[in-house]
Chains A and B, each alone.
Chain A
Amino acid sequence: MSHSAVDPHAATTATPAFESWGRYPKYDAKIVPLNWQSDFPGVMAGLRGGALPVGLGRSYGDVCLLNHGNLLQTTGMDRLLDFDSETGVLTAEAGVSLAKVLDFAVPRGYFLPVTPGTKYVTLGGAIANDIHGKNHEAAGSFGNHIPSFELVRSDGSRRLCSPTENSEWYTATIGGMGLTGVITWAQLRLRPIVSRKIDYKGIQFHGIDEFLDLKQRFPNMEYTVSWVDCASTGRNFARGIFMLGEHSKEPGELKPSPEPKLVFPFDMPGFALNHTTVSLFNSIFFHKQRKPHVRKVLDYEPFFYPLDAVLHWNRMYGKRGLVQFQYAIPWQHAKEGTIAILREIAKSGLASFLAVLKAFGEIPSLGMMSFPQAGIMLALDFPIKPDLTFPLLQRLGEMTREFGGRLYPAKDAAMTPAQFQAFYPQWEKFTKFRDPRLNSSFWERVTGGESIL
């Protein structure tokens, strides 16, 4: 198994100044804060090497890293600039976190149009990775709700980008991984709510057929997502819980969320996550829901952000970190592909407990390089066991390619240049929009070698 794409020396022991959420790979970089919309490209004067705009470092692999480069951290650029209470369009600087957007929006009766599984991402990062949420079938991805933004290039040019103005720059920047320039501010179209509550339903399923049946049975439910047990084989293969939710229509209190109080206090030793502990966790999770059907009303925080309650939960994976694997396989091969990949994962014994299965809907993403496509999406974490995890990821990447799917750059630390270029054949067109001073370790990794297609 060739590892040309993965630097074996990447995992240094010292903690670098900026880590991605997976804490792998670990790269040294200089952090250069962008506090004002006018800071870029002025801050580039005197900097050696390339640069990459970054936010809160919640993407998992190296899409938010630049080895020996400069990370332009936008989190100080977090001002709210305008809000239209009639249309729900919020204009804000790109470094504001979605958590702060919620603090502002919820008391005013609005919610994010699309939200990822953590609220600790920036507005700019959400656009740059064209993130998706549990409502992909109903709402598409994040970029579908961005009427306009400003893009600043390292040559000092500033562009107002929208579907009608500078539309090529607009589509290149949505899902453009921060490589087309710095987004200084953006508009976000919020959606109205009358309550913090979510009407929730949880239904147990056994196997992919039952999962697909459930999906058919609830075509109009706004939020759907499934937890799937990737560790079990035999009778329990691909068992899971199908979770559905809708914003409650009963008016309720709209107060902002309290600050989280729990912080995962230390790095767990690497051996603590093994097949036995993970299987045990999965069994407990599956049977925690005692009945095959559960119905309840819960707050949006535990529904959308169960892991945000514990800050730094990634420390559970220890210093070595974790890698994510996330694919989207079109319907044509979605079922057979998902079964084959789940078998391969179960056989490996490396699966961890955070596995998410979901159907992507038909609404096309606006971004040139966006990840979502109609079909089945699976996402899960693997602890890093150097000799086992990466060979498995190579096999899973190849299988994804054979089934016509693609992997998600924001969750990736292992795909090869050949895989990337097959998943995103439009990458060469995208290259024309890249800012010559901007780069990422992900981009170097997946385009550095010659195309071997």
Chain B
Amino acid sequence: MSTLATQPAAAAIAANPNARIAKKILVLGATSGIAEATCRIWAAEGAQLFLVARNAEKLAAVAADLKLRGASYVGTAVADLDETDKHAELLTHAVNSLTGMDIAYLAHGILGDQARGEQEFQHAAQVIYTNFLAPVSLLTWLANYCVQRHAGVIAVLSSVAGERGRKSIYIYGSSKAGLTTFLGGLRNRVDREGVTVITIKPGPVDTAMTAHMKIKKADVHKVAASIVKAIDKRMDTLYVPSIFQPIMFIVRHIPERIFKRLNL
């Protein structure tokens, strides 16, 4: 685990008193398209960032970029978040590097291959592990950390795909459904402790993950701006683009005997 900045966050703050109000943000899955776009907005605000991603080369490029765009501190750690037994050590290191944490942003996930998952249980299990079980491990640690301090925002990327099982995407969708339900329960538990849990439900967004999908996709920078605003406002749930709120309301309420015949 390495840090890009030559000085720890505390020293960076001492050197620049304006950075005192800078948010301390932990980003898990920092090289994902939505996470990177979100971090660019935070960097321009002078935030202090700790970035975790699997690929060292990509992480280094993202970290260098965010530093140049104005982040007052950028720390990094290369980690495979599927390795849940290393989460405690990783997260401890991250919050120590940041000397605290205002926002935890969980943005890692995989789309998987629906057709393959229909044939191979191992592939379906992998999608569910990365998108649901690994976040449960991270969220357990992060929620307890925040509850202890009676402060903090935990913002998590789920998906509109988790709202209802559809044949084109139900393996990914069910992993996100599990995540959404977990987040609902967690919010119900920690809200009274002063901790905010935000469930972010993007529709299709134009990123590397969806490059092969030939559908209308939202601009990632607009999505990122909505996410930053939702976190500032401490919303509970964000549909982004917002049109997906009424769309998913309708999708959820189509009777199953009709829904099962649709090609969605």
Q: Which A residues are closer than 8 A to B by beta carbons? A: 33, 35-38, 76, 79-83, 93, 104
For B69, the closest partner residue in chain A by CB is: A80
- In contact, A104 and B208 (Cβ under 8 angstroms): no
In the docked arrangement, what's the CA distance between A38 and B58, Å? Answer: 8
In the docked arrangement, what's the CA distance between A81 and B208, Å? Answer: 20
Q: Which B residues are closer than 8 A to A by beta carbons? A: 33, 57-58, 61-62, 64-65, 68-69, 208, 211
- In contact, A38 and B64 (Cβ under 8 angstroms): no
Contacts between the two chains (Cβ within 8 Å), count? 31
- In contact, B68 and A82 (Cβ under 8 angstroms): yes
- In contact, B61 and A79 (Cβ under 8 angstroms): yes
- In contact, B64 and A37 (Cβ under 8 angstroms): no
For A185, the closest partner residue in chain B by CB is: B61
CB distance from B111 to the nearest CB of A (A): 15
Q: Which residues of A contact B65 (CB under 8 A)?
A: 79-81
A to B CB contacts below 8 Å, 20 in the list? A33-B208, A35-B33, A35-B208, A36-B57, A36-B58, A36-B61, A37-B57, A76-B33, A76-B208, A79-B61, A79-B62, A79-B64, A80-B65, A80-B68, A81-B64, A81-B68, A82-B64, A82-B68, A104-B68, A104-B69
In the docked arrangement, what's the CA distance between A76 and B32, Å? Answer: 12
CB distance from B134 to the nearest CB of A (A): 23
CB distance from B256 to the nearest CB of A (A): 37
In the docked arrangement, what's the CA distance between A33 and B69, Å? Answer: 23
For B64, the closest partner residue in chain A by CB is: A81
Q: Which residues of A contact B69 (CB under 8 A)?
A: 80, 104
In the docked arrangement, what's the CA distance between A104 and B66, Å? Answer: 12
Known: A81-B61, A82-B64, A82-B68. 19 other contacts (CB 8 A): A33-B208, A33-B211, A35-B33, A35-B208, A36-B61, A37-B57, A37-B61, A76-B208, A79-B61, A79-B64, A80-B64, A80-B65, A80-B68, A80-B69, A81-B64, A81-B65, A83-B68, A93-B61, A104-B68
Q: Which residues of A contact B58 (CB under 8 A)?
A: 36, 38
Q: Which residues of B contact A38 (CB under 8 A)?
A: 57-58
Q: Which residues of A contact B62 (CB under 8 A)?
A: 79
Q: Which residues of B contact A83 (CB under 8 A)?
A: 68
Q: Which residues of B contact A33 (CB under 8 A)?
A: 208, 211
In the docked arrangement, what's the CA distance between A80 and B71, Å? Answer: 13
CB distance from A159 to the nearest CB of B (A): 17
Q: Which residues of A contact B64 (CB under 8 A)?
A: 79-82
CB distance from B224 to the nearest CB of A (A): 14
For B57, the closest partner residue in chain A by CB is: A38
CB distance from B223 to the nearest CB of A (A): 15
Q: Which residues of B contact A93 (CB under 8 A)?
A: 61
For A81, the closest partner residue in chain B by CB is: B64
In the docked arrangement, what's the CA distance between A35 and B65, Å? Answer: 14
In the docked arrangement, what's the CA distance between A80 and B36, Å? Answer: 13
Q: Which residues of B contact A37 (CB under 8 A)?
A: 57, 61
CB distance from B73 to the nearest CB of A (A): 17
CB distance from B33 to the nearest CB of A (A): 8
CB distance from A72 to the nearest CB of B (A): 12
Q: Which residues of A contact B208 (CB under 8 A)?
A: 33, 35, 76
